[in-house]
Structure 1
Amino acid sequence: MTAPAPDEARRHGWRIGSLAGTPVYIARSWPVIALLIIAVFGPALGRPDRGATYGYLVAAGYALLLLVSVLVHEAAHALAARARGHSVGRIVADVWGGHTVYDATRSSPGTTALVAVVGPLSNLALGVLAWVAEAGVTNETASTLLLIVARANFLVGVFNLLPGLPLDGGQIVSALVWRLTGRKGAGLVAAGWLGRAMAVATVLWLVGRPILQGEQVALFEVVWPVAIAFFLWQGATQAIRAGAITDATAGPVDDVLEPVLLLSARDSLADVHRRAATRDLGTTWLVATDEDGWPFGVFDPEAAAQVPSAVAPHTPLAAVVTAQPSEWVVPLPHDAVLTDLVRAMSERNLPVVLVVDETSRRVRGLVTADRVNAVVGAALARRRRG
């Protein structure tokens, strides 16, 4: 895999290495977590006989080990995705833990569940290793750090297995519903609503329960659960929205494609007008091809209207064509759905796409972002009415 461009690398954070060719980053938000850990745990870990800075140094060591735990968690996701044949774009440790970006275009419920579950399982394994290692050390500081790391990994592993998106357990629930219903969108929506339930339950359990029991609750003990609940609610809402869009774009690609008439860029504008006059083009797009027959641009009727009729026989089609970037030609398999097309257009940031068959390279049709938005909007409206 080629290294990302400098602007892209800066957007993801500091690159610290790679895993099987996948770049690994620490997001610029991560130091927020490190500083918070040091500020909160530093005083609690202090020892009068070790000096004023001892507790903060131990807390800094915990922050560093927690970063390692996050990277192991994300590396497990990445390696599982790669083992299942998916390309992995990047691994990022950020303020909410981390995330792994991989191409799930042709994924399946089984693969989705597998990639999800290995993350928390890796944390549970790390917790066991730290717990076992702690029993064999005699240094008090090392023992303290290992116990903290063990408990943190147990907590992260169990928490991530809770059945609601955006947690890994939510991915497993989503995959299960997908398998049972045959609809990926239904899985996302179901796991998204469970994620919202997890957000509410987090606040009720960690804040509401102690208050109802008459306990004193410190400000930090309120802020932290609320921050976690906000993260869960936000991710769950995005999952519900994504699920609705996924269902709305589950139809065949051909449903949104409009017909195309390929013309040589060397044809005169007069010839183009004559060919257009002999057939009802309707919604057909006129697409210019180069000497090798490869489509490179779309006929611009406004530009053609500016060419005097006397000059038209001597004006090549290429003069009135809006050239498109090379990536505007998108190869898709015959069974691709609209979701695949939307993803390709989004990743390439293209308002116009020419779809060709992945195997034969035969042109299947052209689509614009406006048409996709109209089709998806209509599908979402029908779902709301239904």
Structure 2
Amino acid sequence: MNGSVRIGHVLGVPLRIHWSVPLLVGLFGYSLGAQTLPAWLPGRSSAVYTLAGLVGALLLVGSLLAHEAAHAVLARRRDIPVQDVTLWALGGVTQMGKPRTAGAAFVVAAGGPLTSLVIGGAALGVGIGLDALFGWAVPAAVLVWLAWVNFLLGVFNLLPAAPLDGGRVVQSVIWWRTGDRDRAERAAARSGQVLGFLLIAGGWVLVLRGAPGGLWSMLIGFFVLVVANMERRQAGMAAALHGVRASEAMSSPVETCPDWLTVERCVDDVAMRARHSALPLLDLEGRPSGLVDLSQFARIPAEQRGTSRVRDVATPLAQCTTCAPDAFLDDVLDKARPSRGGLRILVVEAGLLVGIITARDITRLVQRHALRGPET
């Protein structure tokens, strides 16, 4: 997700934090410390309310992390690759490959909301216990608030509409019943579009009636609608790519560049006539050794271009996405590594480069598929 930074790992999965997370902490911390707690427990000092609000907001972020970590752990146990977990103002996103079976999709999707409900139950029980046994009213109130938010998070995420977890659950059930994953993805995306419109419309009505919470509903609805639209397009793309092999999608022949050339010679002799915005590199034996995005050349000072080798600024082959010509394209895309300049897949056979697949090639396949007729 753009605007996020990597801060470490959670259970072996890279963890990223979006710039909006501090906004989330500030918003919920203020709401809890300045509004909720004074109404529940009047008479405490401002310092107590402020500290309690901050602790409650941080506990909420921790529970969001636990929700996403549950998705990641369950996915990895079912051999689904997980790229990273990102926290942001509206919750979290776990980037992972597609499940291979409907059962795996169901378990991974249900794990997040169930974790939120379990956290909510635990927080409620501990909060009641602290108040009853020790009379710690403020910590108890914070935990009760945390329980309420997690119950709300769990129930909301179980709504049957993608990209919410409930939509993934419905998608897995339709997939199991029909055996058609593409159809299930389209149905879940359509339900997400409907939910997004309803949330936006309901939020607008609340705003007109003077309820500021309507803005939050509109924001969530807009997010759901945008992601649902994107997922419906992706479902259409998946249908277009089903059964297509890399050799049918790749561009060939490919302009390449010897990796021992200087940047200056590469720009003058190769880059200026290249069709693609990235150049595969070949070593002395003619085997692929990496990939260089042409935009990287522009960041090299002119005085260094005559001495810098292309391989020194390129992405090594080990960090590139590669596949064999007979590999199914949808499987390759599931495992594709993120690239600085977009989708680039090097097609390699017997150690030699035979083609390259870019976003333009994928778009061409999808357009051809659309010419055959509308979705069913």
Normalising by the residue count of structure 1, what TM-score does the alignment of the two structures yield?
A: 0.70
Question: 1-side partners of 2:336 and 2:72: how far apart?
Answer: 24
Deviations 1:119-171 (A, max 9, x none): 00000111111122122112000110111111111111111011111101111
Shift, 1:38, TM fit: 2.8
Tell me the residue number matched to 1:121: 114
Q: Give the letter for the 2:366 counterpart.
A: V
Tell me the residue number matched to 1:158: 155
Deviations 1:345-365 (A, max 9, x none): 6734577644346xxx58795
Contact 1:256–1:371 under 8 Å retained in 2: yes
Equivalences for 1:224-373 in 2 at 5 Å? 224-253=216-245, 254-257=247-250, 294=287, 326=317, 330-332=322-324, 336-342=327-333, 347-348=338-339, 353-356=345-348, 361=350, 365-369=354-358, 370-373=360-363
Contact 2:102–2:175 under 8 Å retained in 1: yes
Tell me the residue number matched to 2:15: 24
Question: 2-side partners of 1:199 and 1:169: how far apart?
Answer: 14
Tell whether 2:135 aligns with 1:145.
no
Contact 1:330–1:344 under 8 Å retained in 2: no
Question: 1-side partners of 2:128 and 2:119: how far apart?
Answer: 15
Deviations 1:223-278 (A, max 9, x none): 111111111111111111111111111122143357779xxx9xxxxxxxxxxxxx
Equivalences for 1:98-247 in 2 at 5 Å? 98-104=92-98, 107-137=100-130, 138-203=135-200, 208=205, 217-247=209-239
Normalising by the residue count of structure 2, what TM-score does the alignment of the two structures yield?
A: 0.72
- Which consecutive unaligned segments of at least 5 residues does structure 1 have? 1-7, 266-286, 298-322
Aligned length: 319
- Which consecutive unaligned segments of at least 5 residues does structure 2 have? 259-279, 291-313
Counterpart secondary structure, 1:89: strand
Task: Mark the structure with the bigger radius of gyration.
Answer: 1
Tell me the residue number matched to 1:306: none
Tell whether 2:33 aligns with 1:33.
no
Question: 1-side partners of 2:115 and 2:321: how far apart?
Answer: 41
Counterpart secondary structure, 1:136: helix
Q: Give the letter for the 1:171 counterpart.
A: R
Q: Give the letter for the 1:366 counterpart.
A: G
Shift, 1:188, TM fit: 2.0
Tell me the residue number matched to 1:13: 5
Contact 2:16–2:84 under 8 Å retained in 1: yes
Shift, 1:289, TM fit: 7.8
Question: 2-side partners of 1:235 and 1:295: how far apart?
Answer: 36
Shift, 1:70, TM fit: 0.2
Counterpart secondary structure, 2:338: helix
Contact 1:352–1:366 under 8 Å retained in 2: no
Equivalences for 1:44-83 in 2 at 5 Å? 44-46=36-38, 48-83=42-77
Question: 2-side partners of 1:333 and 1:107: how far apart?
Answer: 22
The alignment yields a C-alpha RMSD, in angstroms, of 3.6
Deviations 1:294-348 (A, max 9, x none): 4569xxxxxxxxxxxxxxxxxxxxxxxxx996366723595x4322344566734
